[in-house]
Chains A and B, each alone.
Chain A
Amino acid sequence: MKTPNWTDPQFVDANGTGGLNAALGAVSGSIALLANAYLGKPGVYAPENMTVSFTGLVSTVTLPAPLAIIGSSGVVAQAHGTLNGADTQAYTVTFSGLVPTTGSIVAYCTATLSSVQQSAMPIPGPPPGHPSYNPNFQPIVGYAQNVDTFIVSGTTTPPNNTTSFELFRTTLTAAQTGITSWTYANQLRVTPYRAQQIAAVSGGVLSVAQAQGTLVPTSGGITSTLPLSVSGAGLQFNFLNNSTGTWTLGVQGSDTIAGSIAGSGTASSLAIPPNGFVALFTSGSGWALEFMNAAYMLATSNLWTAANTFSGNVTVNGTVNVSSNINASGNLSSTVAVVTPVVQAPASSTLLLESDVNTSSVNRADNQFVMHYAAPATNAQAAVILSQFVLGGGSNGYYQYPGGTILQFGSATIPNSGARTSSVTVTFSIAFPAVCRVGITCCNAGSGANSSAGGQPAGGAGAFSTTNMTLLYDTLGYTTFNQTLPVWWFAMGS
């Protein structure tokens, strides 16, 4: 049986101030970071906590917790200075040796993983009587801990993003004696670990620190404002709306959110529906919608400007406005409000909806009609639904059967010729592609007689062409055409 030869709290400290907890904290950099599992791939964690100031070409960089560096080997380091036995978060970085003699260069302030020794203690020599006792031995100082830290330096060598990471950068020009501007835009931030939920209250501007996790609203219907993109370069905000109300996000200044609305436009706000998730990213110049889930997409109107193919079943509810060509393969089985009647075609056939389907009444006079057909008339495999062959109201129109036969009808007026015969040439509403085979005409019995003496004449159609025909009426001598005569006509061709 084995039993430990130590007793609590010789090595285990329940308060976390020593023993194994302290040891774990020492190697990880921060117990809190590990406990919340905030860390992702290598980078700088919480760099917004950094402060930078310059005196001439010398910078004072302060890197307080929770700012940390996670390296590619998994080492997590926070700032503890570079001297053994000392612990500081303030670094002095000089750029004076980097100023070029001509032209300009980019100088980086980088943090490079390192370690220092801490918890100093004296190490005496062997006591008198010990075989190794040396009366001339001088006590030395030892350290109880190795602490991960990082070196902060100015360099013209870009960081490798595995053991060294950029804190900020600036441009140095020949003969420059001071630094007044620098940018954090190129920091490689630790990828947010979305399991960290950060509560967002309504109103106010989100902080850059809140980009490290997933924001969730404290209640439904709240509004939040994104930080200025210029101050959040590299940030990714994650929003999960687990409330029952819409969460509205806004921007500041001239910032916009690219890709947050239909088409390629940008918007100054974004509405996240219940159960919606979005991720917003900024490179320092405006925000962009990076990710979204289906709940967000469902609540967003979509306008596809490129050709789209939908596979599987497609169900459309509500009003459908068709403004251009729709080609559908397979079965259409729903009644579309603006396309009457039901349109259905057998599998593998092509179904064409007429492009002139428009809900706007301004394009259509009362006496016009639009015809819809299920498929090109030449498609021998097209399904035919008789209820589709509906003519709209109007005094002129045309109508095509599958196979190409075209029927046309219209009204005309026989002129007051003063003679016993009178004729008029009517132009068809649409030209027959090949031939007009039959024409028929008759009086409009509801609109009076051909003369003041009464009576309706005999009429006939002739002189057919693909574009017109002549209607001839004859009183057969009983009177003359001394007033106009309204008539109907009908023609069939292909």
Chain B
Amino acid sequence: MTQYAQFDPNASSPTPVIGWYDTDFATYSMLPPTVETAPAGFLVMTQDQWDAHMVNPSGWAVENGQTLVDYVAPAPVLTLEQQADRALYQGLAITLSGSITLAATVFPVDPSATVKIGAVVTTIMATQAFPGGITSFPMKDSSGAWHTFTLAQYTTVAGAISAYVAALNLITDGNPLNAVALPSSSVSLTV
């Protein structure tokens, strides 16, 4: 017995292989070359299995403690911080009513988009008008479609985006307010 697959014998089957050992190749303290019986958590491998494991050493599991099978690791569980980070790139669904009717539409909230919106809002705050003095201004949604808003409509939408991004940034920056969930990724506004 010279080659082994290591697994967690206490985990539910199939158990991912967490280590590969060849006692002909190297000396391992827990696997002396003269071992007669594989220790718990180690499965003796055939040469064919050893050759096969080289294709994808991370893609194997032990089934019922006896059989090597192909294995696809489940997607990792994201932390709240990672979820907030991901949300920044998934956008905010905005529904408008009142002076304008807009069904739920996803607008980008990633840093690139918010920089552009911020530039427009900065002008509005300084001049009470859109850049160039025009009376309406377009905003692109996540699908690439443009929506033209009045000054009041634009600032309302921009404000919702800003509030959403700020809440996400607090979480990604260390969550000082100890949020336990992400802010809602959809909002309905009346303007």
Contact = CB atoms under 8 A, between A and B. Distances in A.
B58 A425 contact: yes
B120 to A, nearest CB: 21
The interface centre, meaning the residue of B22, B26, B85, B90 with most chain A CB atoms within 10 A of its CB, is: B26
A279 to B, nearest CB: 43
A87 B82 CA distance: 122
Contacts of A425: 58, 73
B5 to A, nearest CB: 10
Interface in B67-88: 73, 75-76, 78, 82-83, 85-86, 88
A423 B76 contact: yes
Contacts of B48: 363
A482 B51 CA distance: 33
Contacts of A257: none
Contacts of A479: 89
A397 B54 contact: yes
Interface stretch (B13-21, B133-141, B176-184): B13-21
Contact of A368 (B54, B85, B111): B54
A369 B85 contact: no
Contacts of B53: 429
A63 B174 CA distance: 118
A365 B19 contact: no
A418 B90 contact: yes
Interface stretch (A77-85, A121-129, A132-140, A409-417): A409-417
A417 B6 contact: no
A468 B85 CA distance: 27
Contact of A363 (B18, B47, B75, B86): B47
Interface string A342-377: 000000000000111000000111011100000000
A42 B123 CA distance: 131
A368 B21 contact: no
A215 B21 CA distance: 61
A interface SS class: loop
B47 A429 contact: no
Contact of B89 (A365, A394, A396, A480): A480
A396 B53 CA distance: 9
B137 to A, nearest CB: 25
A426 B20 CA distance: 12
Given A433-B26, A480-B89, A367 B21 contact: no
B76 A415 contact: yes
The interface centre, meaning the residue of A365, A412, A418, A423 with most chain B CB atoms within 10 A of its CB, is: A418
B28 interface: yes
Nearest to A416: B75
B57 A410 contact: yes
Interface in A428-445: 428-433
A14 interface: no
Given A418-B90, A429-B57, A478-B112, 6 more contacts: A419-B82, A420-B88, A431-B21, A433-B26, A467-B6, A482-B89
Interface of A: 354-356, 363-365, 367-369, 394-398, 400, 404, 406, 410, 412, 415, 417-421, 423-433, 466-468, 477-480, 482
Interface of B: 6, 16-22, 24-29, 47-48, 50-58, 73, 75-76, 78, 82-83, 85-86, 88-90, 111-112
